[in-house]
Chain A
Amino acid sequence: DAKTTQPPSMDCAEGRAANLPCNHSTISGNEYVYWYRQIHSQGPQYIIHGLKNNETNEMASLIITEDRKSSTLILPHATLRDTAVYYCIVSGNTPLVFGKGTRLSVIA
């Protein structure tokens, strides 16, 4: 079973920041937080991952709380092409276990 809890769906206005929350209260010290997204009819796409510190890349920012029990994925300026299902996954050196994710709808 997935070790994370995410809201089933969220809406975001185009051009605004999309903040996607994830709870992972049972995360272990050696487990990373991964985010993937899946656009309709495509394979999942890696976005970002982190262990303790906040991370940023060209796609998104990942904010992990100090106790590591939750995190937030931030898409700074959402576009219509960011409409997708977003998966938050915690994993050490084990296969990724996907839950049902959050369906993000970006609205014009």
Chain B
Amino acid sequence: ETGVTQSPTHLIKTRGQQVTLRCSSQSGHNTVSWYQQALGQGPQFIFQYYREEENGRGNFPPRFSGLQFPNYSSELNVNALELDDSALYLCASSPMVRGATGELFFGEGSRLTVL
């Protein structure tokens, strides 16, 4: 096990609603990354947080936002849900390693279905 836990594991929302997904990092890891994985595709990078600041963002609109807390846990918020937001959302924690991305420790994901 990776020590990264995500909640909820499954949820169903309707179009236009808002959702918050949560991630608890592995102890001692100060960096958290969020990925979206559509069915049959590889994970797509949403954003990364390092010490409570956004430290990189992929090609996702502003309605995807995040937070990292002092204990390094994190939230992913998605507003105005669209049908295409249906996916597995993965959180990964890691220690910040100079010069290299390093090993990411992934949680089991939160599967979001938008109806």
Give me the interface of A with B, judged by CB distance under 8 Å. Answer: 2, 30, 32, 34, 36, 42-46, 49, 85, 87, 91-101
B109 touches which of A43, A45, A93, A98 (Cβ 8 Å): A43
A94 & B99 in contact (Cβ 8 Å cutoff): no
A95 touches which of B48, B90, B103, B108 (Cβ 8 Å): B48
A30 & B101 in contact (Cβ 8 Å cutoff): no
A43 touches which of B45, B103, B107 (Cβ 8 Å): B107
Q: With A43-B90, A44-B90, A101-B42 in contact, do A92 and B99 touch (Cβ < 8 Å)?
A: yes
Q: Measured between alpha carbons, how far is A87 from B106 in the docked complex, in Å?
A: 14
B2 & A95 in contact (Cβ 8 Å cutoff): no
A95 & B42 in contact (Cβ 8 Å cutoff): no
Q: With A43-B2, A43-B109 in contact, do A93 and B101 touch (Cβ < 8 Å)?
A: yes
Closest A-B pairs by Cβ, 6 of them: A43-B106, A98-B42, A95-B45, A46-B103, A91-B101, A98-B43
* Secondary structure class of chain B's binding surface, majority of residues: loop
Can you spell out 5 A-B residue pairs with CB atoms less than 8 angstroms apart? A42-B109, A87-B42, A95-B48, A97-B45, A98-B42
A32 & B45 in contact (Cβ 8 Å cutoff): no
B104 touches which of A46, A97, A99 (Cβ 8 Å): A46
